[in-house]
Amino acid sequence: MDMIGEIVAFEESALAAIAAAPDAKALEDVRIKFAGRKQGGLRDVQALVGKADPAERPAVGKRFNEAKTKVESALEARQKELARPKAVAGALDITLPGTPLRLGKKHPLVQTMDELKDIMGRFGFSVAEGPEIEDEWHNFEALNIPEDHPARDPLDNFYLAAASVAAANPGGARSSGSGGPVLLRTQTSTVQIRVMEKQRPPVRVVSLGRVFRPDTIDASHSCVFNQMEGLMVDRGVTMAQLKTVIRMLFSSYLEHDVSIRFRPSFFPFTEPSVEVDIPWGDDWMEIGGAGMVDPHVLSAVGYDPDEYTGFAFGLGVERLCMKRHGITDIRRFYENDVRFLRQF
Ligand code: DAH
């Protein structure tokens, strides 16, 4: 056989063996046999090229190089092919479009509370947290709501039957400072007390979270809803500042200038007290209460009412969110119907 013939024969048998290798292990054996660096067919054929007649050498060398390239690329291609996972017939059609991932998102009320915190943060208010299970001191007493006040009627509150357990084991209840009865907090004003007990003025905090009342549920009432409490105490804090902060807060959250209405009212922990309304259709809607912190409250936490004044407010988060998005029934927030929730 002439040299070119030998090269061609080598190439053919190498390519056939590569194509026939059933798996990676067999292919590696083929590679060593035909193209191994220490031994192997390619080396032997190359040796032949060295011995070729000088006149024939260029042609033989060229053909050898072709064979070498072909064999090496066939090896590489077959390696890749064998490494690929095998398609199981009928099991999976990879040409079908995938199932779209449905991403969850924050509940509209959580989005609202995040935005409110953000706006108040820009006014210099930090966020404080308080427990949902409260004792009577923080929910009533320190807020100037005495024992015989109608707001403390057991029928108007969710008192917990676990109260006696808490009394026996004060460390076991998250909130119980006094060891007395505990209840689900009816207002976030409790957090005013918790903050002032720990911190000296100046104070600027908001606290957002759930409150609980045995109310009859309708389009604008729920027995669980969210409030944002705000408190600012310092020397010389005024009612004008209160009104400015609330109006700027609403305008910022609702993304347009809003007028607000302060209606004289009464809360045991503020004096004077107001009800805060915003326009609602042709009418007004009550969004919460506010006022100047009652001196009794300041004294209860050891602040000197002659030195400090403060304002406080408590606003309904649901109602603000309803106003912004034109939602007319508060119950939509709690039904967890994704067709409703997906819109926000
Ligand atoms: N806690 C009151 C409520 O839930 C709302 C409120 C009124 C909060 C006046 C305040 C306030 O901080 O000053 O009805």
Gap from CA of 313 to ligand 1 centroid (Å): 6
Of residues 86 and 148, the one with the higher pLDDT is 148
Which ligand 1 atom is at minimum distance from the Cα of 291?
A: 13
Which ligand 1 atom is at minimum distance from the Cα of 289?
A: 7
Do the strands 224-234 and 261-267 form a parallel or antiparallel pair, or are they unpaired? unpaired
Gap from CA of 290 to ligand 1 centroid (Å): 6
Gap from CA of 193 to ligand 1 centroid (Å): 13
> pLDDT grade, residue 336 (50/70/90)?
very high
Identify the residues whose C-beta falls under 6 Å from ligand 1.
187, 189, 229, 267, 270, 273, 288-291, 312-314
Residue nearest to atom 8 of ligand 1 (CA): 314
Contact criterion met (CB below 8 Å) for 275 and 286: yes
Average pLDDT, the chain: 91
Gap from CA of 341 to ligand 1 centroid (Å): 29
Backbone phi, then psi, for 252, in 5-degree steps?
-70, -45
Give the C-alpha separation, 53 to 68, whole Å: 20
> pLDDT grade, residue 168 (50/70/90)?
very low
Give the C-alpha separation, 198 to 205, whole Å: 13
Which ligand 1 atom is at minimum distance from the Cα of 288?
A: 5
Give the C-alpha separation, 64 to 49, whole Å: 8
Give the C-alpha separation, 158 to 186, whole Å: 8
Contact criterion met (CB below 8 Å) for 108 and 325: yes
Give the C-alpha separation, 15 to 9, whole Å: 10
Choose the residue to mutate in 267, 274, 297 for probing ligand 1, maximizing ligand atoms within 8 Å of C-beta. Answer: 267
The predicted structure's pLDDT at residue 314 = 98
Do the strands 270-280 and 203-212 form a parallel or antiparallel pair, or are they unpaired? unpaired
pLDDT in tens, 234-263: 999 999 999 999 999 999 999 999 999 999
pTM higher than the cut 0.75: no
The predicted structure's pLDDT at residue 1 = 64
Question: Roughly how many angstroms between the first and final C-alpha of the chain, as a whole number?
Answer: 81
Block residue for tokens 């007028």? 259
The predicted structure's pLDDT at residue 81 = 87
Which ligand 1 atom is at minimum distance from the Cα of 315?
A: 5
Gap from CA of 207 to ligand 1 centroid (Å): 12
Q: Which two structure tokens, joined as six digits, stand for 166?
A: 């808490």
The answer on pLDDT for 198 being more than 90 is yes
Q: How far is CA 264 from the centre of its chain?
A: 39
Q: Report CA-CA distances (Å) from 36 to 5, 8, 42, 146.
A: 21, 18, 8, 95
Choose the residue to mutate in 215, 233, 269, 309 for probing ligand 1, maximizing ligand atoms within 8 Å of C-beta. Answer: 269
pLDDT in tens, 320-335: 999 999 999 999 999 9
Contact criterion met (CB below 8 Å) for 300 and 144: yes
- Which is nearest to 198 in space by CA: 123, 126, 253? 126
The answer on pLDDT for 173 being more than 60 is no
pLDDT in tens, 176-191: 455 689 999 999 999 9
pLDDT in tens, 211-241: 999 999 999 899 999 999 999 999 999 999 9
Q: Which two structure tokens, joined as six digits, stand for 135?
A: 């004792």
Give the C-alpha separation, 136 to 130, whole Å: 14
For the beta carbon of residue 261, count every other beta carbon within 10 angstroms.
14
> pLDDT grade, residue 171 (50/70/90)?
very low
Give the C-alpha separation, 344 to 342, whole Å: 6
Residue nearest to atom 4 of ligand 1 (CA): 187
* Burial bucket for residue 168 (CB in 10 Å: 0-12, 13-18, 19+): exposed
The predicted structure's pLDDT at residue 311 = 98
Residue nearest to atom 13 of ligand 1 (CA): 290
Gap from CA of 315 to ligand 1 centroid (Å): 7
